[in-house]
Structure 1
Amino acid sequence: MAATTTVTDSGSMRIITEVIPATDPRAAQLTSASSPSTPAVSSFQVRGFRRAQPKALGTIHIFTGIIHICFGIILTVSEHGTLSLPVASGVLFWLGLLLLVSGSLLVESEKRDNILLVKICCVVNIGVILSTLVATLVHTTAIAHDIPGCENNMPYQLKAEWCFEAENKMLSNGLDSMFVIFCLLEFCAAVVALAFGYDAIKQHNYTRMAL
């Protein structure tokens, strides 16, 4: 079947309509040109996520995660007798590892146009948000309580000599306060990554439905 051309006059305009059969090679070219490719759509959505600067947010998570793990090792070794609440709970280690994973994924999302990677970043950052809230509660509880081994459980209980040194409690409170500040920074970075990631995923799903 050959292509047919129809000319229609409408006022001062002339409309030329050409009907191309399905067997014509030009039909395949027009079909491929009219439908946007999936990688292009995905790349557009990932670029929207990159407005949050995921590499910078990932660097924050990696840096603070290393600090958490290093201090966790130091405090575990130094508190071999009676462990403080943050060390006993292991919050310095599992939060530090989670931050390293989150930071690595965020940095990697800067390099790859993959909407699935953005979704994984969102899931991991939800875990970071919840973990930082738990860690903040642990550190603030440690600040409000006495150093382990120095509690007044009994009226005539003898305390160790180091319990009467105010510098020990000040040092412990200072470290816990520092970790609370780190948790606040990590929480803000995770919220930003989650907000931009959710917006990119929502746009991606909307585009797929529109197609």
Structure 2
Amino acid sequence: MAATTVTDSGGVRIITEVIPATDPRAAQLASGSRPSAPAVSSFQVRGFRRAQPKALGTIHIFTGIIHICFGIILTVSEYRTPSLPVASGVLFWLGLLQLLVSGSLLVESEKRDNILLVKTCCIINMGVILSTLVATLVHTTAITHNIPGCETNVPYQLKAEWCFNAENKILSNGLDSMFVIFCLLEFCTAVAALAFGYDAIKQHNYTRMAL
């Protein structure tokens, strides 16, 4: 039987009822006060959305398209003597496999309340971080080297005519410098997405343990 206590305080009457554990209403109250799993997941995903994943994903998609477009143009124009970025294929695998995939997942996470999607975004963005570091190394190495086909391996070696045109090297260095800036932007974007995603996953795991 439930015990009822009536208390008067400041013109307000407070009625307190103690329900025994055997009372069916106790189970209903316990289940009603505990947040459901979808609600918890939705709360954590909303925390991840503070990073504006749609904006971050748009940046990744935009830079990924630029990488692929320039990769096609440079591959066609340098098919005889490809430069280091073209020969390594960094413009394609960074633009397609990482940036477009990561950007699409980030944009999709703006629409769905799915903590698994947030975890996938974190994994992909870890790959983006590593890839941008490798790409930066490739582009900076290309800046410090001569134009392909213009290296001097033996004394008095004849060079092609374009090797004496300084504008070619300036253009090549300008493109590589631009890609280094893009890699820095992509690196910062991936770090921001990873930081907010890790925070959401950590809170989600803590909430599950607390439940």
Same fold (TM over 0.5): yes
Per the TM alignment, residue 4 of structure 1 is displaced from its structure 2 partner at its CA by: 3.5
Partner residue, 2:168: 168
What is the 5 A alignment of 1:17-166? 17-20=17-20, 22=22, 24=24, 26-97=25-96, 98-166=98-166
Task: Supply the AA of the counterpart residue of 1:133.
Answer: L
Question: Aligned equivalents of 1:157 and 1:125: distance in 2?
Answer: 46
Aligned residues: 208
Per the TM alignment, residue 28 of structure 1 is displaced from its structure 2 partner at its CA by: 4.2
Q: Which segments of 5 or more consecutive residues in structure 2 lack a partner in the other structure?
A: 8-12
Whether 1:5 aligns to 2:3 is yes
Per the TM alignment, residue 109 of structure 1 is displaced from its structure 2 partner at its CA by: 0.5
RMSD: 2.1
Whether 1:184 aligns to 2:147 is no
Q: 1:129-164 CA distances to partner (integer Å, 9 max, x unpaired)? A: 000000000000000000010001111211111111
Partner residue, 2:209: 209
- C-alpha distance 75-116 of structure 1, shift in aligned 2 (>3 A): same
Question: Aligned equivalents of 2:156 and 2:91: distance in 1?
Answer: 35
Q: 1:40-81 CA distances to partner (integer Å, 9 max, x unpaired)? A: 111111111111111000000000000000110111111011
**Structure 2-normalised TM-score?**
0.92
Question: Aligned equivalents of 1:188 and 1:19: distance in 2?
Answer: 55
Q: 1:97-139 CA distances to partner (integer Å, 9 max, x unpaired)? A: 1100000000000011111101000000000000000000000
Question: Aligned equivalents of 1:6 and 1:150: distance in 2?
Answer: 94
Q: Which segments of 5 or more consecutive residues in structure 1 lack a partner in the other structure?
A: none
Question: Aligned equivalents of 1:99 and 1:63: distance in 2?
Answer: 9
Question: Aligned equivalents of 1:100 and 1:22: distance in 2?
Answer: 57
SS of the equivalent of 1:153 reads coil
Tell me if structure 1 keeps the 8 A contact 2:19–2:26. no
Percent of pairs identical after alignment?
A: 82
Per the TM alignment, residue 34 of structure 1 is displaced from its structure 2 partner at its CA by: 1.6
Tell me if structure 1 keeps the 8 A contact 2:60–2:102. yes
SS of the equivalent of 2:186 reads helix
Partner residue, 2:10: none
